[in-house]
Amino acid sequence: MSNAKVDQKKLVGVGFPEFWQHVHDEYAKCFEAAVELTAVGNEAFSGPLSQPLEKVSRHIARVVWNSFGSLMLLVLNGYGADAMKIARGMFEASVTLGYLRIHPGLIDDYLDYHFVIQKRLYDAMKDSSPGHLQRISAGVRREMEVNFARVAPRFRARSGKLRANWAKVSFREMAREVGKEQQYLVFYRFASSMHHSDVGGLFAQTQTSEVEDVLDVDIAPSDKWLKESLITGHAAVVAVLSEYNEITKAGLDSVVERARRLFIDAWGKDEQRSDA
């Protein structure tokens, strides 16, 4: 390790510390709940699990928990549009886990779709950067081909083409089945537009310029989209905790109920439609 001293004057600050207190005070109950939920997660997701669905449920739940921390950092610094993109992924994860709980027999499809992803990446590398394939041993490539051949028939449509997703139904249908179609139609569409930078997403991230009567990018720090991203992210955290408890029979009913009460306390009963 280098003994060179760090010149503190050259360190670049990231974010907007002067904005933190404003956001914290505006959403204090959510941040208080987040502190308690962090402790809950550290305790709830420990211990051995044996079944694939149980392991996947814990993995998804922990990913969502981790993303909640990222989301709060963005919110504190007034990056609401980018927080929406994080919340979008959290929402997707909560829907996926809810769908797997309802259809536990699909866990093999969920896991085995990994081999389809591997094959697509392999084929893309053959076309664009064949030199990189030399780093992959013949044995690994052969194993990948064998695994793909084994699972591919399950993921082919009648046309013979591979499905774009592990599930036979669309994501909207998955959301509908787990009781989250309303969030899909409203929040998810906004967040997806932002993520993909379509024209709807661009308009969702604009404001009228104070200098000229024109639309311009809503630059951080901004209050825009902070509430929506926090509500959705918070709801996803509570949802995956509940799904994990149901799937693993972890005996966390009182913990889940406490998490739901914290959500309602932070956002009010009107936000129960978020299905936390």
- The 3-class SS string of 200-254 reads HHHHHCEEECCCCCCEEECCCCCCCCHHHHHHHHHHHHHHHHHHHHHHHCCCCHH
pLDDT (0 to 100) of residue 264: 97
pLDDT tens column, 189-202:
989 999 998 888 88
> What pLDDT was estimated at residue 43?
85
DSSP 169: S
Q: pLDDT band at residue 207, thresholds of 50, 70 and 90? A: confident
Which range is most confident: 5-9, 133-137, 159-163? 159-163
Residue 257: inside a domain, yes or no?
A: yes
Evaluate whether residue 117 is within a structural domain: no
Whether pLDDT at 231 is above 90: yes
pLDDT of residue 275: 57
Q: Do residues 274 and 229 lie in contact, with contact meaning Cβ atoms separated by under 8 Å?
A: no
d(CA 196, CA 205): 12
pLDDT of residue 200: 85
Would residue 112 count as lying in a domain?
no
What is the distance between the terminal CA atoms of the chain, rounded to a whole angstrom? Answer: 47
pLDDT at 212 over 70: no
Tell me what pLDDT residue 39 has.
87
Q: In this structure, is residue 138 part of a structural domain?
A: no
Q: How far is CA 23 from the centre of its chain?
A: 22
The total number of structural domains that make up the chain: 1
pLDDT of 271 higher than 70: no
CB neighbour list of residue 223: distance below 8 Å, 6 or more residues apart: 26, 78, 80
Q: Which H or E run contains 175?
A: helix 171-177
User: Residue 170 — very low, low, confident or very high, per pLDDT cuts 50/70/90?
Assistant: very high
Task: Say which residue the tokens 């997806």 belong to.
Answer: 192
Lowest mean pLDDT among 6-10, 22-26, 93-97, 168-172: 6-10
- Residue 47 region by backbone torsions, left for phi larger than 0, else alpha for psi between -120 and 50, else beta: left
Write out the DSSP string of 27-52.
THHHHHHHHHHHHHHHHHT-S---SH
Rounded to whole angstroms, the Cα distance separating 246 from 248 reads 6
How far is residue 7 CA from its own chain's centroid?
37
| Residue 131, pLDDT score | 81
Q: Are 208 and 3 in contact (CB under 8 A)?
A: no
211 band by pLDDT with thresholds 50, 70 and 90: low
Across residues 131-157, what is the average pLDDT? 92
For the chain, the average pLDDT equals 90
What is the rounded CA–CA span in Å between residue 233 and residue 89? 9
Residue 6 located in a structural domain: no
- The whole model's pTM is what? 0.89
Residue 211 lies in a domain: yes
- Residues paired with residue 217 on neighbouring β-strands, in sequence order: 206
- Looking at residue 106, the DSSP 8-state letter turns out to be G
Residue 47 has a pLDDT of 86
pLDDT (mean) for 132-143 = 88
* Beta partners for residue 206, in sequence order: 217
For position 276, what pLDDT does the model report? 60
Q: Which residue has better confidence, 271 or 71?
A: 71
Give the torsion sign (CA, 40, 41, 42, 43): positive
Q: Classify residue 88: in a domain, yes or no.
A: yes
Name the residue range of residue 237's domain: 17-104+171-274
Residue 209: pLDDT band by 50, 70, 90 thresholds? low
Q: How far apart are CA 239 and CA 256, in angstroms?
A: 9
Q: How far apart are CA 159 and CA 136, in angstroms?
A: 32
Share of the chain above pLDDT 90, in %: 72
> What local confidence, expressed as pLDDT, does residue 104 receive?
98
Residue 2 binned pLDDT confidence (cut-offs 50, 70, 90): very low
Q: Is 60 in contact with 95 (CB distance < 8 Å)?
A: no
> Would residue 230 count as lying in a domain?
yes
